[in-house]
Structure 1
């Protein structure tokens, strides 16, 4: 049985989050109460299908015309609006057999934020990277999605192994790649050249060389590409400094299961770590000391951790089908939402406006949830054949009380009848005595 902890949730401030699950569904979770209310699922986009499992996501979070890119298991990329879910463009690489293979899915995706707002409304540029290391930068025309995409540049970031993590810095000039039997390497996106590569680990005391498997990575600061943090399959967290050396500057172990998710804080020195057994903690990367664990044990592997850009809130999701919202200061659970499917990614919408959201209808339950709740309410409880014709415990108590009241009323009626009879007999005896006395007086006279 999974280890879980029951905690009282105090509610979270107004926010909006987008979740992406293993069946390709995109669910919008909103908390509209200004006094720390419970978040609810207000919208659901797409149809459930296992071939549309979400592999990677990226969003341009801006007030006017935001964009969201979703890479699916069938190697299709959808560019849609994170406000209403309308699909702006769809990219399908049906002609590329190498990309369409099941062992070469898209694992890295990034939407470039354009400086020119006029061009951003008509087209967008995105970076993709597959498991085999096939990276490409493409331009998509949103005005006419039938034209598809035009490839600007294609290159290979690894000669062997599998890419498992990909990250682009805040200035969008450098990209970070790493994976199984692939050392962390940084590429210059302007010249498409490799500018740095980490050094493989040394042999152990027995002379055995064990290659590292990197599962997640993130830059420590958005504006500085020289420092980044990487998590490994051997439950290690490593800090790299490009300007210092090729091997990690700092390395420490976290629990005993592989690191699955990493997220940086705004302060530039705190990170959030999540592993395959559901443990999550905040760590001071300057010293490698743990600041504290988050209260409330998750019952499944954590796959995504995201820090809200403005509020002191982080979101975590994973294979236990829960979206959990935490307070970064107290590390307490604010709220948890059950979403039924395995959640792969989560993103925050920092431009969420409560006043605008109050004008829209808030569906507390999705259609599937409503059907399930009706079935549960309408279906009778299963009992044994012998107990079908027998009354329940509550009915038995009621009947026993009624029978007791009837007995007591009967007994009271009986006592009343007996008392009335005694009174009648007494009155009759008194009358008889008086008559006798009168007869005696007549005889004397």
Structure 2
């Protein structure tokens, strides 16, 4: 059984998280929220295989027909059902440089929520990017049967960099723009409808000592859901930068965080709070408008943090990394609510925020059977009550007859 760690807190709220590790396993962690119960692993999908290591994941978090995209080390993209883990489609990204190889692995994956041009209810669109800068927009037609997991696909490819290595990519909330950055690659933004570059960052100037910091972006995220012009990027030189493409090409705000590379950056729904994790396991929240540290999360991780995600509804975040722990944190008190040991190094985590509504829904056939059972139980209860009332009334009549006989006998004795 996985080891769990709990602390004295208000308890972990009801939630469902999916984690992805280096052996290709997808583990479902759930917390019921009853009596401060710690989250537990309820399901594990797949077989351990290092060649099926999960490099990136994307979840279409919705109440009806949710989808989960998983990019593996072998170069395959699988579209799964986040409810039961069934494979809906499986494709291979075409590349002249073999994306499954170590020097051109998939570093970014986004599964589109909205329907794009040419898509239907039984299809999906996804965007992938490899470390060599090969972006791929793929239209996947999912199969009707679960046994036939290979769906038809059409692909559109283009390059987002001429040299260097891509390490991070992100798609905005409207799913119209995407950013890419990496080692030797300045952050650039592309229009996904036109497959054209619309903006590129400029390297920061030399510092007071005349030292130039080479370009090395490790993580990035858009800051606001309603505006794609502002985004935050973390660097290998432990810097956090805020860019505004409508203002200038260089960072608007820049500050350092500890002494190790930034490995994960996540935004809050308020549009100005960000969560940062680095290679030494430090986790903190900042106000990106001023670069002010709001506070560090209590309970240092023992390994590099690789993924941070904010729950869309609850005031909690989840983090995971090379220490093999999934940790749930309270964003207000910055306290550790719970931690679950998952045995393997973790690469990513996502929240399934609609699981409670899906569990609450009961199929109509089940509702009908429940109603019929309830009516039959009520009828049986009424019949039992009628029988009991008849027996009770009959016993009362016998008692009255006996009493009347006794009264007559008593009157004769008196006479």
Instruction: Tell me if TM exceeds 0.5.
Output: yes
Q: Using structure 1 for the length normalisation, give the TM-score.
A: 0.76
Answering whether residue 113 of structure 2 is matched by residue 113 of structure 1, we say yes
* Structure-2 change in CA distance of 1:159 and 1:37 (3 Å): same
Q: Which residue of 2 aligns with 1:183?
A: 186
Answering whether residue 390 of structure 2 is matched by residue 353 of structure 1, we say no
Q: CA deviation at 1:352?
A: 1.7
Q: CA RMSD in A?
A: 2.2
Answering whether residue 156 of structure 2 is matched by residue 149 of structure 1, we say no
* Structure-2 change in CA distance of 1:355 and 1:193 (3 Å): closer
Q: Which residue of 2 aligns with 1:89?
A: 89
* Structure-2 change in CA distance of 1:312 and 1:204 (3 Å): closer
SS at match of 2:102: coil
Q: Is the 8 A contact 2:132 2:164 kept in 1?
A: yes
Q: CA deviation at 1:206?
A: 6.2
SS at match of 2:24: coil
Answering whether residue 238 of structure 2 is matched by residue 235 of structure 1, we say yes
Q: Which residue of 1 aligns with 2:25?
A: 25
Q: Is the 8 A contact 2:69 2:79 kept in 1?
A: yes
Q: Is the 8 A contact 2:56 2:107 kept in 1?
A: yes
Q: Which residue of 1 aligns with 2:169?
A: 166
Deviations 1:311-355 (A, max 9, x none): 001000011110000001111011110101111100000102189
CA distance in 1, matches of 2:320, 2:265: 12
SS at match of 1:211: coil
Q: Which runs of 5+ in 2 are unaligned?
A: 363-415
SS at match of 1:353: helix
Q: Is the 8 A contact 2:63 2:357 kept in 1?
A: no
Q: CA deviation at 1:223?
A: 1.9
CA distance in 2, matches of 1:234, 1:68: 33
Answering whether residue 134 of structure 2 is matched by residue 130 of structure 1, we say no
Q: Is the 8 A contact 2:119 2:139 kept in 1?
A: no
Task: Could you list the structure 1 runs, at least 4 aligned residues long, displaced by more than 6 angstroms after superposition.
Answer: none
Q: Which runs of 5+ in 1 are unaligned?
A: 360-445
* Structure-2 change in CA distance of 1:106 and 1:301 (3 Å): same
Q: Is the 8 A contact 1:238 1:249 kept in 2?
A: yes
Indicate which of 265, 271, 276 corresponds to 2:274. Answer: 271
SS at match of 1:356: helix
CA distance in 2, matches of 1:302, 1:217: 14
Considering only CA atoms, is the larger Rg found in Structure 1 or Structure 2? 1
CA distance in 1, matches of 2:290, 2:283: 18
* Structure-2 change in CA distance of 1:331 and 1:208 (3 Å): closer
Q: CA deviation at 1:99?
A: 2.3
Q: Which residue of 2 aligns with 1:54?
A: 54
Q: Which residue of 1 aligns with 2:101?
A: 101
Deviations 1:228-250 (A, max 9, x none): 00000000000000011000000
Q: Using structure 2 for the length normalisation, give the TM-score.
A: 0.81
